[in-house]
């Protein structure tokens, strides 16, 4: 078993999230932006992760995760999402209050802890933001969700996830009543600025393109 530091784990997770379809190489700059650090620092770390066989790295050509690196990343995501469920279901946190804390808790290293937590929580399938929770074997099933921005007029669906996890965004959704489980129908699409008019609880509501891109629907 390779051990990974707090920082290395954050890099692995960032690379995972930045390569939606596997084998798609992630750039140094993209990682730097995701982790709010500098490109030179990223290059340093990429060398280290490559030495540990966690990523495939060829100078100037971006990186992909190795199988080991991907399993490590998925494991961190598993911990992150289970802790989020714990905070919301057991400690009564709101869904917009858990991300930062889970960002730290995900680095606590104990298989027994996380597997026990999963049992205690009743094997949840998704986290408070609708994201799927990998099982203990590292199997992660991404549900087929589409952003509101990709829906057609008159199409109906259930809000089942969000792409953005910031407090600011989630708080806005909460206030607008756009929470997981709600049914929405696309009433109209404004071509000019990409905003969308949706029907929610029989009320009409206009959301910006930015918001529409970050709400995920099961259609």
CB of 110 to its own copies, least distance (A): 5
Interaction between residue 46 and DNA (CB under 7 A): yes
Taking residues 82 to 101 in sequence order and writing x for each that binds Mn ion by CB under 5 A, - otherwise, the string is --x-----------------
105 scored as a contact of its own copies (CB under 8 A): yes
Residues 156-175 that bind DNA (CB under 7 A): none
Question: Which of the listed partners (its own copies, DNA, Mn ion, none) does 96 bind, with a CB threshold of 5 to 8 Å by partner kind?
Answer: none
Q: Is 3 in the site for its own copies (CB under 8 A)?
A: no
Q: Which stretch binds its own copies (CB under 8 A): 17-25, 110-118, 155-163, 208-216?
A: 110-118
Inter-CA distances, 119 with 64, 133, 135, 215, Å: 33, 13, 11, 29
Identify which of residues 11 and 86 has a Cβ nearer to its own copies in the complex.
Answer: 86
Binding site for Mn ion (CB under 5 A): 10, 84, 103, 127, 129, 131
């Amino acid at each position: 078993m390779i051990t990974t530091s707090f920082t290395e784990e954050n890099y692995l997770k960032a690379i995972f999230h930045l390569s939606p379809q596997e084998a798609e190489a992630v750039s140094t700059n993209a990682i730097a932006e995701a982790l709010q650090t500098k490109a030179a620092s990223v290059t340093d770390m990429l060398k280290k992760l490559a030495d540990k066989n966690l990523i495939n790295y060829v100078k100037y050509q971006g990186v992909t995760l190795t199988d080991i690196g991907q399993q490590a990343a998925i494991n961190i995501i598993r911990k992150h999402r289970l802790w989020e469920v714990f905070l919301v279901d057991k400690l009564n946190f709101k869904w917009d209050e858990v991300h930062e804390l889970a960002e730290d808790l995900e680095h606590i290293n104990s298989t027994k802890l996380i597997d026990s937590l999963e049992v205690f929580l009743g094997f949840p399938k998704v986290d408070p933001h609708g994201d799927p929770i990998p099982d203990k074997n590292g199997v992660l099933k991404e549900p087929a969700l589409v952003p509101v921005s990709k829906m057609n007029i008159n199409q109906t669906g259930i809000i089942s996830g969000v792409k953005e996890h910031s407090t600011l965004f989630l708080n806005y959704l909460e206030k607008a009543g756009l929470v997981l489980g709600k049914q929405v129908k696309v009433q109209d699409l404004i071509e000019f600025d990409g905003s969308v008019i949706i029907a929610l609880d029989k009320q009409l509501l206009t959301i910006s393109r930015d918001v529409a891109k970050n709400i995920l629907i099961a259609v």
